[in-house]
Amino acid sequence: MLLADLSSATYTTSSPRLLSKYSAAADLVLRVFDLTMVVVSGLIAYRIVFGSWVPAAPYRVAIATTLLYSVICFALFPLYRSWRGRGLLSELLVLGGAFGGVFALFAVHALIVQVGEQVSRGWIGLWFVGGLASLVAARTVLRGFLNHLRTQGVDVQRVVVVGLRHPVMKINHYLSRNPWVGMNLVGYFRTPYDIAVTEQRQSLPCLGDPDALIEYLKDNQVEQVWISLPLGERDHIKQLLQRLDRYPINVKLVPDLFDFGLLNQSGEQIGNVPVINLRQGGVDRDNYFVVAKALQDKILAVIALMGLWPLMAAIAVGVKMSSPGPVFFRQRRHGLGGREFYMFKFRSMRLHDDHGTTIQQATKNDTRITRFGSFLRRSSLDELPQIFNVLGGSMSIVGPRPHAAQHNTHYEKLINHYMQRHYVKPGITGWAQVNGFRGETPELRTMKKRIQYDLDYIRRWSLWLDIRIIVLTAVRVFGQKTAY
């Protein structure tokens, strides 16, 4: 392959329509603005509580101390990283964590020096709420402004790709639908490993072969080069990187890993060695998942139990009257990490033999189901005892529904990545259930679709998604025709 004379290259990395050359100044302005808002929100809170803009000495000390803690926490948290391509919620969560850290440090400080005796707790609470609200509002407005600029073609990074494979096509499809990200794939350089693409699907122009890459970079404005070659083509990838050695340009590798059954994939460094996480559950992904999910489960379970215990008591009486036997039905299920636990339900069937090796789902007009049990199953009220599972830690309010142990043994052999659903705790309700995949699964394709929704939930998890599923459960699931 031909090697260009890199020493004579006239390549530049700044574009008149890119804001990157102002990034240092913008970073400084944003840092000063955030710290200013901390102080201003404290003064406004003081004005509201005491009717004066001039705080007394203890309050001035508290504001100065909090300002110092803000400098520390805002520097420790990745607040001022590039958020290009990441959602607003991710940025706001980091902001909330940083601001929460500020007041956590202040709370410890207050206990040590007994500030609580000198300043009003109401003022502190109002300051925290007002400060966080102002910072969130400012970031939201700023993000909206940047998104608007990028949809107008300002601050858009131009990217060229070496190789055209499935990941690149997916990224291009995403970027074309989300111009606010501020990236534009201007074309690709063909290689022998490219996928076959029809003209209808082909939205990226071909810029030639890799020999033309260096010349193209000299004559055109490009901010990033992406390499999309098979992982086995190590020598070709290395050769491309050597060509780009003297170019001050960002280079990224876009590996084709879709056949690997990815789940919450990410990258990290261990001892300065890059490592790609191919599969990981929420517990391994971040501590925020663990803490937020656990708090949500315990709070909602306690609230539900306090509000529903009269109904649960009435159902227990109804179960006892419907047929002889216990009130609760207990069955082995697989939970987090594939570990077994016993899941509780209100009994909806007459007592019958369970041989433990057969898979017999409830079906329409199932003679085992009592009349009262049929009502419980249609309304999903038979699931209420699983609140105790949530309180005990074996289940979550929202998550993939736990299948009978026999079902796991059966379906893990038939459905790829089936056991990945055990990266999180099973739930009382789930993403699959609110999308119509609840109850009997007479066909394998139905179960496959349910598993797809389960894995999609694990990839997309957020508190907002959980709340959405809980609301949709009340709207869609109760009385669903597939439940019997």
Mean pLDDT, residues 250-258: 86
* Residue 377 neighbours by CB under 8 Å, 6+ apart: 348, 362, 369, 483, 484
For residue 191, what are its two tokens? 């290689």
- pLDDT > 80? residue 443: yes
Q: Mean pLDDT, the chain, as a whole number?
A: 83
- pLDDT > 80? residue 9: no
Is pTM, for the whole model, over 0.85?
no
- pLDDT > 50? residue 16: no
CB atoms within 10 A of CB 194: 16
CB 157 within 8 A of CB 221: no
Please list, residue by residue across 341-358, b when 16 or more beta carbons sit within 10 angstroms of its beta carbon and e when fewer do: bebbbbbbbeeeeeeeee
Residue-wise pLDDT for 331-340, tens only, equals 889 998 889 9
CA distance 236 to 329: 61
Mean pLDDT, residues 87-116: 83
User: Which sequence spans correspond to the domains of the chain?
Assistant: 6-11+156-256, 20-151, 287-477
Predicted local distance difference test score (pLDDT) of residue 138: 94
Predicted local distance difference test score (pLDDT) of residue 116: 60
CA distance 203 to 208: 15
Mean pLDDT, residues 312-337: 90
The three-point CA angle 363-366-369 to 5° equals 115
Lowest mean pLDDT among 48-52, 73-77, 244-248, 419-423: 244-248
Per cent of the chain over pLDDT 90 is 30
- pLDDT > 90? residue 136: yes
Q: How far does Cα 120 stand from its chain's mean position?
A: 38
CB 293 within 8 A of CB 396: yes
Predicted local distance difference test score (pLDDT) of residue 103: 86
Classified as helix, coil or strand, 426 is coil
Q: Torsion over CA of 185, 277, 262 and 421, rounded to 10 degrees?
A: -140
Residue-wise pLDDT for 187-241, tens only, equals 999 998 888 665 445 678 899 988 889 889 988 989 999 999 988 888 988 989 9
Predicted local distance difference test score (pLDDT) of residue 396: 94
* 15 vs 120, more confident: 120
- pLDDT > 50? residue 44: yes
- pLDDT > 80? residue 7: no
Which class in CATH covers the domain with range 6-11+156-256?
Answer: alpha beta
Predicted local distance difference test score (pLDDT) of residue 232: 83
Lowest mean pLDDT among 77-86, 230-239, 413-422: 77-86
- pLDDT > 70? residue 1: no
Residue 40: pLDDT band (50, 70, 90) is very high
Predicted local distance difference test score (pLDDT) of residue 377: 84
Mean pLDDT, residues 134-161: 89
Predicted local distance difference test score (pLDDT) of residue 97: 84
Backbone angles phi, psi at 398, to 5 degrees: -120, 135
- pLDDT > 90? residue 119: no
